[in-house]
Amino acid sequence: MYRYDEFDREFVAARVAQFRDQVARRVSGELSEDNFKPLRLHNGVYLQLHAYMLRVAVPYGTLNSSQMRMLAHIARKYDRDYGHFTTRQNIQFNWPKLADIPDILEDLASVEMHAIQTSGNCIRNVTADHFAGASADEVADPRPYAEILRQWSTIHPEFLFLPRKFKIAVIGSPSDRAAMQFHDIGLEVRKNDQGELGLRVFVGGGLGRTPMIGKLIRDWLPEEDMLSYCEAILRVYNLYGRRDNKYKARIKILVHETGLEELKEDVEVEFERIRDGVLKLPDEDVAAITEYFAPPQFDQIPERSDSIEHAKLDNRSFARWVGQNVSEHSQSGYGIVTVALKGTGEAPGDATSAQMDVLADLGERYSHDELRVSHEQNVILPHVRLSDLKAVYDALLEAGMASPNAGLITDIIACPGLDYCALATARSIPVAQELSQRFADLDRQNDIGELKLKISGCINACGHHHVGHIGILGVDRRGEELYQVTLGGSGDEQAAVGEIIGRGFAADEITNAVETIVDTYLSRRLSDDETFLDAYRRLGPQPFKDALYPAKEAA
Amino acid sequence: MSTLFVDGAVHEDRWVSVDGEQPVPEGEDVIVSLAVFEAQSHALVTRNAGRLGVYLEAGDQIEAIADHLDHIVLVALDFPSFADGRAFSKARLLRDRYQFEGQIRATGDIRIDQVSHMRRSGFDAFQVSHQPTIDSLIEDKDSGLDLFYQPAVGDSAERIAGKNWARRAL
């Protein structure tokens, strides 16, 4: 993975010193909250309902074990002993004291981490496929591109005060595990017939109150032009994006209102002007960054591990976990382990400092010192020998992280909701907790099969409800929490925005409603192999409406 | 009261701002609004005495004056709020696309923590009202770093080996 060079180290250190000075000026009263706000936001410091919140960047979700250990240390020393992994592959600490934040940033810098541009109207942490460099279907590792974009976008002087935040995601496989088409810019690394690497570019995707699927703006962009093209898009957006209404300020609205063709023309004109300039990427520099992401030294080992096959026969829980949480690796004899931070009744994405320490140890010992954070709020051990799976499982079990539910109905995405967030209009964590208890039975979960359930506590859609196979949106109606249900959304390569199924449900009704939807699916599916999403696409909303609102039908 | 900084030093502002109905004073250096410029562009670019500047509000585009830049020696770009960053890209276009060599003056809501970004986007003059920012600029503190992850306007900075996009201030 990427390691800081002298330049990066100096940069982050200077940045910490700068922020330390700004915090001191705020604490002494020299800076008002108004004047401090833009400064803290560019350093990931939010003011939440009850306290400041610090969002730490995990660039494209990749970290090593010493970085994970540092996150545990920060949770223990400065927070209430836990952290929250987010849908943007970052981690949030909910209770730091403002005066401690410069020390936290210094601790982070010591392991090559920072919180730069994790908030504010600027280019945010660049995300990527959490199986990058490991999955069997990969064309090329997306992370070198994400790292170059991370560097270029860091304190870009022109793009720090955009109309609104700006999110970039990069994938390198035909399967989209990063919801790439729901980003302001989505990039897919591809190979052409000559074996050259380039990018397919999508623009104007997003969730929030106006969900949109990204539009294809360029089918083939040579890799050397990546920064020039992104700079052209950002410049056009910065000049023409709406600033009169923050809810219409994302680039998706500009694309929608201007039309893709006209916007594309502006982008291409600017791109042609700058493409042979200073942003052109020299092959050797791309190669040097790519070298950081070279695969670890894998051993030549058999495709099958007999000891694991025996252990699976002996231990049904282990077999279930392997079946659900271990994905195919590009390397024979290895697997990709998803550690689901979704135990029954837990807040999705939360991990205690002790759990983070266990994850760090496992990453170090069994996964070539690498871990990932997924946008589904889980932690990934990307390179585990199949013969080590039992040891990994046992350690996870002891630490309460062996939930065998990756990709199942209780692998829920949920935003922090009204329990923490100043924007929220309803709670999401208690809804997720109740659903995870209702569907706790593993046989039943396995019978239901792949089902993505996503919950947002307000219209801003941090819980990605629009792309949930079942999406839940909590709103406030006359002081009561009300939960709207959408069906049929999908964040993968067959991207779709879920459709609202009908009137919302009260907090004490929503779990029953989800159960009704699931039961309807189970009774109508063609076979066990037809997933919920496939069945919904075949059946349409009507059978689900009929089941959810029977009285209305009778009337 | 605002203070004008040009090339890092306090400067007496001799330019006269012209907006609305008032006539453009003969022989003076003037900064006219885009409306005035568009109404009188021929007369303005053919004046015999007095230099010409144009003031663009945040919603005005550079294209409106692009054909006349040979006759314009100053462009003032407004920041109605520190959060409105359109002028960063406009300054960039003036320097890079149109090779404009005159003064680019930032006006409006300017905070010290943005001045270094403005400089790197092409601004070389700042008309500042925010007192803490004026104090910091007088002390020559703009709070910027000396390391940059991207090339920018007028870079005399040193390139970083292996990172063609990064720069270190000389």
Q: Could you give the percent of chain A with pLDDT greater than 70?
A: 99
The continuous run of DSSP H or E covering B76 comes out as strand B74-79
Question: In this structure, are A151 and A280 located in the same domain?
Answer: yes
Residues 6+ apart with CB under 8 A from A318: A311, A312, A390, A393
Phi and psi torsions of B162, nearest 5°: 85, -10
Q: What is the CATH number of the domain that holds A313?
A: 3.90.480.20
Tell whether B169 lies on the interface with A, counting CB pairs under 8 A: no
Hey, are the CB atoms on A157 and B120 less than 8 Å from each other?
yes
Q: Which of A356, A372, A398 is the last residue of a domain?
A: A398
Question: In this structure, are A441 and A542 located in the same domain?
Answer: yes
- Pairing of the two strands B16-18 and B30-33: parallel
In a domain, A128, yes or no: no
Query: A317-366, pLDDT tens digit by residue?
Result: 999 999 999 999 999 999 999 999 998 888 889 999 999 999 999 999 99
Average pLDDT in the A93-108 region? 95
Give the separation between CA B147 and CA A214, rounded to whole angstroms: 34
In a domain, A124, yes or no: no
CB A440 within 8 A of CB A318: no
Chain B neighbors of A109, CB-CB under 8 A: none
Chain B neighbors of A161, CB-CB under 8 A: 82-85, 88, 114
Question: In this structure, are A428 and A545 located in the same domain?
Answer: yes
Nearest to B165 among A14, A161, A227 (CB): A227
Give the separation between CA A103 and CA A348, rounded to whole angstroms: 28
Answer whether residue A38 shows pLDDT above 90.
no
Q: In this structure, what is the dihedral angle of CA atoms A529, A535, A539, A540, given to the nearest 10 degrees?
A: -170
Question: In this structure, are A321 and A247 located in the same domain?
Answer: no
Chain A neighbors of B111, CB-CB under 8 A: 35, 38
What confidence score (pLDDT) does residue A408 get? 97
Phi and psi torsions of A221, nearest 5°: -125, 120
In a domain, A544, yes or no: yes
Question: In this structure, are A314 and A284 located in the same domain?
Answer: no
In a domain, A467, yes or no: yes
What pLDDT band is residue A555 in, cutting at 50, 70 and 90? very low
Q: In this structure, what is the dihedral angle of CA atoms A127, A131, A132, A133, given to the nearest 10 degrees?
A: 160
What pLDDT band is residue A552 in, cutting at 50, 70 and 90? low
Neighbours of A323 (CB within 10 A): 12
Question: In this structure, are A215 and A319 located in the same domain?
Answer: no
Tell whether B163 lies on the interface with A, counting CB pairs under 8 A: yes
Question: In this structure, are A154 and A284 located in the same domain?
Answer: yes
What confidence score (pLDDT) does residue A305 get? 86
In a domain, A134, yes or no: no
In a domain, A118, yes or no: no
Hey, are the CB atoms on A279 and B151 less than 8 Å from each other?
yes
Give the separation between CA B74 and CA B30, rounded to whole angstroms: 9
Structure tokens at B1: 């009261």
Coil, helix or strand at residue A496 = strand
**B130 to chain A nearest CA, in Å?**
11
Question: In this structure, are A249 and A326 located in the same domain?
Answer: no
Tell whether A235 lies on the interface with B, counting CB pairs under 8 A: yes
What confidence score (pLDDT) does residue B1 get? 80
Answer whether residue A241 shows pLDDT above 50.
yes
DSSP 3-state helix, strand, coil percentages of chain B (rounded to 5)? 30, 25, 45
Nearest to B145 among A18, A39, A156 (CB): A18
What pLDDT band is residue A262 in, cutting at 50, 70 and 90? very high
Phi and psi torsions of A501, nearest 5°: -90, -25
In a domain, A46, yes or no: yes
Tell whether B85 lies on the interface with A, counting CB pairs under 8 A: yes
CB A396 within 8 A of CB A362: yes
CB A507 within 8 A of CB A452: no
Question: In this structure, are A152 and A273 located in the same domain?
Answer: yes
Of the two residues B19 and A533, the one the predictor is more confident about is A533
Answer whether residue A64 shows pLDDT above 60.
yes
Pick the closest to residue A113 from A347, A389, A373 (CA basis): A373
Q: Provide the residue ranges of all domains of chain B, joining segments of one domain with +.
A: 3-142
Of the two residues B73 and A419, the one the predictor is more confident about is B73
**8-state DSSP, A397:** H
Pick the closest to residue B153 from B109, B72, B90 (CA basis): B90
Interface test with chain A among B63, B99, B150, by most A beta carbons within 10 Å: B150
Name residue, tokens 């591990």: A305
In a domain, A404, yes or no: no
Query: A534-544, pLDDT tens digit by residue?
Result: 999 999 999 99
Could you give the residue ranges of the DSSP H alpha helices within B46-111?
63-66, 86-96
The CA radius of gyration of chain B, in Å to the nearest whole number, is 17
Which residues lie across from A482 on neighbouring strands? A475, A506
Give the separation between CA A340 and CA A87, rounded to whole angstroms: 14
Domains contained in chain A, number: 4
CB A83 within 8 A of CB A351: yes
**How many beta-carbon pairs under 8 angstroms link A with B?**
110
**A160 to chain B nearest CA, in Å?**
7
Give the separation between CA A521 and CA B55, rounded to whole angstroms: 63
Nearest to A158 among B113, B121, B149 (CB): B121
With a CB-CB cutoff of 8 Å, which residues 94-123 of chain B face chain A? 96-97, 111, 113-114, 116-118, 120-121
CB A223 within 8 A of CB A194: no
Query: A354-385, pLDDT tens digit by residue?
Result: 999 999 999 999 999 999 999 999 999 999 99
DSSP 3-state helix, strand, coil percentages of chain A (rounded to 5)? 40, 20, 40
Q: What is the CATH number of the domain that holds A430?
A: 3.30.413.10
The average confidence (pLDDT) of chain A is 95
The pLDDT tens digits along chain B (170 residues) read 899 999 889 999 999 999 887 888 888 999 999 999 999 999 998 888 899 999 999 999 999 999 999 999 999 999 999 999 999 999 999 999 999 999 999 999 999 889 999 999 999 999 999 998 999 999 987 778 889 999 988 777 888 989 999 999 88
Fold of the domain built from segment(s) B3-142: TIM Barrel (3.20.20)
Residue range(s) defining the domain that contains residue A311: 306-398
Structure tokens at A421: 């967030």
Q: Which of A363, A398, A433 is the last residue of a domain?
A: A398
Which residues lie across from A386 on neighbouring strands? none
Residue A494's identity, in one-letter code, is Q
DSSP A176-236: -SS-GGGSSEEEEEEE-TTS-EEEEEEES-B-TTS-BPPEEEEEEEEGGGHHHHHHHHHHH
Question: In this structure, are A343 and A270 located in the same domain?
Answer: no
Question: In this structure, are A335 and A254 located in the same domain?
Answer: no
Answer whether residue A281 shows pLDDT above 90.
yes
Question: In this structure, are A375 and A427 located in the same domain?
Answer: no
Query: A426-479, pLDDT tens digit by residue?
Result: 999 999 999 999 999 999 999 999 999 999 999 999 999 999 999 999 999 999
**For residue B145, with 0-12 CB atoms within 10 Å meaning exposed, 13-18 middle and 19 or more buried, which class applies?**
middle
Q: Distance of alpha carbon A503 from its chain centroid, rounded?
A: 29
What confidence score (pLDDT) does residue A536 get? 98
Minimum CA–CA partner of B154 in chain A: A278
CB A198 within 8 A of CB A229: no
Answer whether residue A268 shows pLDDT above 80.
yes
CB B103 within 8 A of CB B130: no
Residues 6+ apart with CB under 8 A from B39: none
Pick the closest to residue A370 from A400, A401, A342, A329 (CA basis): A329
Name residue, tokens 């601790």: A107
Give the separation between CA A517 and CA A545, rounded to whole angstroms: 9
Vertex B122: Cα angle to A31 and A246 (nearest 5): 55
Pick the closest to residue A430 from A374, A492, A348 (CA basis): A348
Q: Distance of alpha carbon A33 from its chain centroid, rounded?
A: 30
ipTM: 0.97
Q: What is the distance between the terminal CA atoms of chain B, rounded to a whole angstrom?
A: 34
Nearest to B84 among A243, A278, A288 (CB): A243
